[in-house]
């Protein structure tokens, strides 16, 4: 039988291949497009669907160079009509958080979510004065680029400077239906008698689709030294009155500032908003409300949002800050969230420094109210639960929502980590979950930890797994102290698996800021456990991927796992609680060993699993910081830590300790 050539593939088959490659393997999409001219022509709309400008700085020269270069490339290739998404990022605004667009983020909804949620809220947004034409002219090259993109659907903007008038004018003229995702939003003229004309035009624009706002101090204090707390009144006004097509609002609120907003006398906040916020004329119709980074969510904050936006219209609600019981009761009994499909709920207690017994009592009441709130909703499509205490059964919640969930995120409460049985129960109740983000406590790779990985395979439809490996040592947070003391400080208990070396107390020297612990003294075995748990490398990630896949078995109804992202978490909380905040051992050493890994199922027969480190640039930044601050200015470990480290990993000549370690085999 003659071998079929790529040139003879039917158009329908080529189209199907392009769709699959675009959603699974972008590099494969480019490779397929290079096979012949016909395939390249068919792939062009997908290859140039998203374009990005990354500004190392916001100088006129950099802005002009980047915009003109991109415009020239698009014009020369005659592909500008295919661009649908335009991303403008600035290093000054988001630091070094430039994120590559992975395959699963290339589709429209996922891209929009990623571009909003990945960007830290920027509160020092610099104003572009309307009386300074030069400040506006700096952005004209970008405006010219926007005018050259007739098919533009979404414009994601994250820069230190306010969105320029010329950019808004270009959108109105050439792409009036394009949606503006404004990740750096601030109104500077709220204290004036009238809004700045450009700010008024911006917030009333029909292009404005999403705003991201920080309620913290922007450095703009009045003569009395007070912060301009009427910012929150302005945000409510924008949502309810001014912005006709605003659909997404991402807010960060602070407990004290928001309460002062509601209690302030009008005379303290001169400006055009005085008196308005008490009687909103109408409600906004947001589809997505995110107050995920709020300091604390109390009932006053919830009732204010309920007064200014139509809660029954919300399809997505993120309550990411700790929330009090009264707010949960109000949401369950008063707010009709009839359209809600995506929910994030944080059940962690507030504040964090509460004594353990008070913290547990608040956690119990919050969970009881949280469960009632969850049971008052219609079945959800995605659910994120932070601080879930598995002493409360999750079965009633997932019995209602589990069958419709396609995405599930579980971050358990630190003192009650998930067990294999908990994960199995979730898997049986959630047969359609394709994306799972879950936190699992490490325990040196013992049989209990391995069993948790196996239980993840019970999610039959699971396609993309994000695994956060928690390094928190629970026995140190809630220690049963041994009768022994070391230098007058109680010593941690001896574990059954400790050898002679592990039993000896560890002589920990003070950190660079003089931090020492006077509550607890560690043994060598405790330090060794910390190092073993922090050692996450390519081999470990690959084996976890294989265990999850093997546990799926040969069931034809089970989907193959496509991606596994693994990252460490939780180290800081343990050591800060014990008084070691800023110590070289508990910040520096794990920081140097930390890696974020992405394992994917490679295309092709017999290729297997590909594992790559995704935070190489961030790791280099961490190591550079350590060399300038921590104890090892010449890549040497502290003398007191050397014996424990080398007890695990013998020295290799000519290799820095930062690369001279490996994960230990799992106990299978």
What are 451-500's pLDDT values in tens digits? Answer: 999 999 999 999 999 999 998 876 665 555 555 665 656 677 788 888 88
The confidence band for 544, taking pLDDT boundaries of 50, 70 and 90, is: very high
Is the confidence at residue 404, as pLDDT, over 80? yes
Q: Cα separation of 31 and 216, whole Å?
A: 47
Number of Cβ atoms within 10 Å of the Cβ of 18: 19
The confidence band for 194, taking pLDDT boundaries of 50, 70 and 90, is: confident
Question: What pLDDT does residue 461 have?
Answer: 93
Overall average pLDDT of the 371-377 stretch: 94
Q: Say how far residue 150 (Cα) sits from the centre of its chain.
A: 32
Question: What pLDDT does residue 107 have?
Answer: 42
Structure-block tokens of residue 631: 């104890």
Tokens 């007739």 identify what position?
150
The confidence band for 367, taking pLDDT boundaries of 50, 70 and 90, is: confident
Is the confidence at residue 315, as pLDDT, over 50? yes
Cβ within 8 Å of residue 666, ≥6 positions away: 445, 449, 450, 453, 540, 543, 547
State how beta strands 489-490 and 485-486 pair: antiparallel
Q: Cα separation of 429 and 452, whole Å?
A: 17
Q: What is the mean pLDDT of the chain?
A: 76
Tokens 């353990």 identify what position?
356
The confidence band for 268, taking pLDDT boundaries of 50, 70 and 90, is: very low
Question: What pLDDT does residue 601 have?
Answer: 81
Is the confidence at residue 665, as pLDDT, over 80? yes
Overall average pLDDT of the 583-593 stretch: 59
Q: What is the H or E stretch that residue 401 is in?
A: helix 395-401
pLDDT in tens, 11-53: 788 888 877 777 666 667 777 778 888 888 888 888 888 888 8
User: Residue 473: which of 402, 527, 419, 512 has the closest Cα?
Assistant: 527
Question: What pLDDT does residue 438 have?
Answer: 96
Overall average pLDDT of the 99-121 stretch: 44
3-state secondary structure of 20: helix
Is the confidence at residue 83, as pLDDT, over 80? yes
Is the confidence at residue 543, as pLDDT, over 80? yes
Is the confidence at residue 368, as pLDDT, over 60? yes
Q: Say how far residue 184 (Cα) sits from the centre of its chain.
A: 17
The confidence band for 360, taking pLDDT boundaries of 50, 70 and 90, is: low
For the ranges 210-224, 455-469, 502-516, 622-636, the lowest mean pLDDT is seen at: 622-636
Question: What pLDDT does residue 582 have?
Answer: 45
Task: For residue 343, count CB atoms less than 10 angstroms from its CB and return exposed for 0-12, middle for 13-18, buried for 19 or more.
Answer: buried
Overall average pLDDT of the 319-340 stretch: 90
pTM: 0.82
Question: What pLDDT does residue 116 have?
Answer: 46
Tokens 């690959």 identify what position?
542
294 neighbors 301 (Cβ within 8 angstroms): yes
Q: Cα separation of 304 and 306, whole Å?
A: 5
Question: What pLDDT does residue 382 have?
Answer: 95
For the ranges 154-158, 263-267, 602-606, the lowest mean pLDDT is seen at: 263-267
For the ranges 91-95, 138-142, 329-333, 414-418, the lowest mean pLDDT is seen at: 91-95
pLDDT in tens, 502-523: 888 877 655 544 445 555 677 8
Question: What pLDDT does residue 105 have?
Answer: 38
For the ranges 122-126, 292-296, 312-316, the lowest mean pLDDT is seen at: 122-126
Percent of the chain topping pLDDT 90? 30
Is the confidence at residue 182, as pLDDT, over 60? yes
More confident residue, 480 or 306: 306
For the ranges 6-10, 230-234, 426-430, the lowest mean pLDDT is seen at: 230-234
Is the confidence at residue 217, as pLDDT, over 50? no
Overall average pLDDT of the 525-552 stretch: 89
Question: What pLDDT does residue 102 have?
Answer: 42
For the ranges 66-70, 147-151, 415-419, 521-525, the lowest mean pLDDT is seen at: 521-525
Is the confidence at residue 262, as pLDDT, over 60? no
Question: What pLDDT does residue 393 have?
Answer: 83
Percent of the chain topping pLDDT 70? 67
The confidence band for 279, taking pLDDT boundaries of 50, 70 and 90, is: low
Question: What pLDDT does residue 26 have?
Answer: 67
More confident residue, 111 or 524: 524
For the ranges 164-178, 268-282, 322-336, the lowest mean pLDDT is seen at: 268-282
Phi, psi of 206 (to 5 degrees): -75, -10
The confidence band for 413, taking pLDDT boundaries of 50, 70 and 90, is: confident
């Amino acid at each position: 039988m003659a071998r079929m050539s790529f040139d003879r593939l039917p158009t329908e088959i080529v189209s199907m291949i392009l769709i699959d490659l675009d959603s699974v393997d972008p590099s494969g999409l480019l490779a397929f497009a290079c096979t012949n001219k016909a395939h390249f022509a068919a792939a062009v709309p997908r290859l140039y669907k998203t374009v990005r400008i990354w500004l190392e700085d916001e100088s006129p020269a950099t802005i002009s160079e980047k915009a003109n270069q991109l415009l020239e490339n698009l014009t020369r290739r005659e592909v500008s009509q295919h661009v649908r998404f335009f991303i403008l990022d600035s290093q000054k605004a988001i630091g070094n958080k430039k994120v590559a667009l992975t395959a699963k983020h290339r589709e429209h909804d996922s891209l929009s979510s990623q571009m909003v949620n990945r960007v830290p809220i920027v509160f020092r947004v610099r104003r572009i004065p309307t009386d300074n034409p030069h400040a506006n002219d700096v952005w004209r090259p970008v405006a010219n680029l926007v005018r050259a993109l007739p098919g533009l659907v979404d414009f994601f903007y994250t820069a230190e400077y306010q969105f320029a008038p010329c950019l808004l004018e270009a959108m109105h003229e050439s792409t009036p239906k394009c949606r503006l995702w404004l990740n750096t939003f601030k109104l500077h003229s709220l204290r004036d008698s009238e809004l700045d004309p450009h700010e008024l035009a911006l917030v009333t624009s029909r292009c404005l689709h999403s705003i991201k706002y920080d309620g913290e101090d922007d450095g703009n204090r009045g003569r009395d030294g007070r912060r301009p707390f009427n910012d929150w009144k302005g945000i409510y006004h924008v949502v309810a009155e001014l912005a006709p097509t605003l659909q997404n609002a991402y807010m960060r609120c602070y407990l004290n500032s928001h309460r002062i907003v509601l209690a302030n006398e009008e005379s303290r906040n001169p400006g055009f908003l005085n008196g308005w916020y008490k009687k909103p004329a109408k409600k906004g119709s947001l589809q997505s409300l995110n107050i995920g980074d709020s300091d604390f969510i109390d009932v006053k904050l919830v009732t204010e949002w309920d007064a200014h936006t139509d809660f029954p219209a919300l399809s997505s609600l993120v309550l990411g800050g700790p929330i009090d019981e009264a707010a949960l009761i109000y949401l369950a009994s008063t707010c009709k969230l009839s359209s809600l499909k995506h929910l994030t709920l944080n059940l962690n207690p507030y504040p964090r420094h509460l004594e353990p017994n008070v913290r547990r009592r608040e956690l119990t009441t919050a969970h009881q109210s949280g469960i009632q709130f969850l049971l008052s909703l219609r079945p959800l499509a995605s659910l994120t639960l932070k601080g879930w205490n598995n002493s409360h059964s999750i079965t009633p919640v997932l019995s209602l929502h589990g069958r419709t969930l396609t995405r599930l995120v579980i971050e358990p409460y630190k003192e009650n980590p998930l067990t294999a049985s908990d994960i199995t129960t979730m898997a049986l109740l959630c047969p359609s979950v394709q994306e799972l983000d879950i936190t699992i406590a490490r325990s040196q790779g013992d049989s209990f930890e391995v069993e948790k990985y196996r239980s993840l395979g019970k999610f039959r439809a699971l396609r993309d797994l994000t695994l956060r490996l928690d390094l928190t040592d629970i026995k140190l947070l809630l220690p049963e102290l041994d009768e022994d003391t070391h230098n007058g400080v109680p010593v941690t208990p001896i574990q059954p698996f400790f050898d002679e070396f592990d039993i000896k107390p560890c002589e920990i020297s003070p950190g660079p800021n003089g931090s020492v612990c006077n509550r607890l003294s560690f043994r060598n075995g405790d330090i060794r456990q910390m190092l073993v748990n922090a050692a996450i490398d390519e081999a470990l990630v690959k084996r976890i991927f294989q265990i999850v896949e093997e546990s799926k078995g040969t069931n034809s109804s089970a989907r193959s796992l496509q991606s596994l992202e693994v990252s460490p978490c939780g180290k800081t909380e343990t050591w800060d609680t014990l008084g070691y905040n800023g110590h070289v051992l508990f910040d520096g050493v794990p920081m140097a060993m930390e890696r974020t890994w992405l394992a994917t199922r490679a295309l092709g027969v017999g290729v297997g699993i590909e594992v790559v480190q995704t935070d190489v640039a961030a790791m280099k930044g961490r190591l550079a910081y350590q060399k300038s601050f921590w104890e090892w200015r010449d890549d040497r470990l502290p003398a007191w830590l050397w014996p424990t480290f080398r007890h695990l990993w013998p020295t290799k000549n000519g290799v820095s300790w930062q690369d001279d370690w490996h994960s230990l085999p799992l106990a299978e």
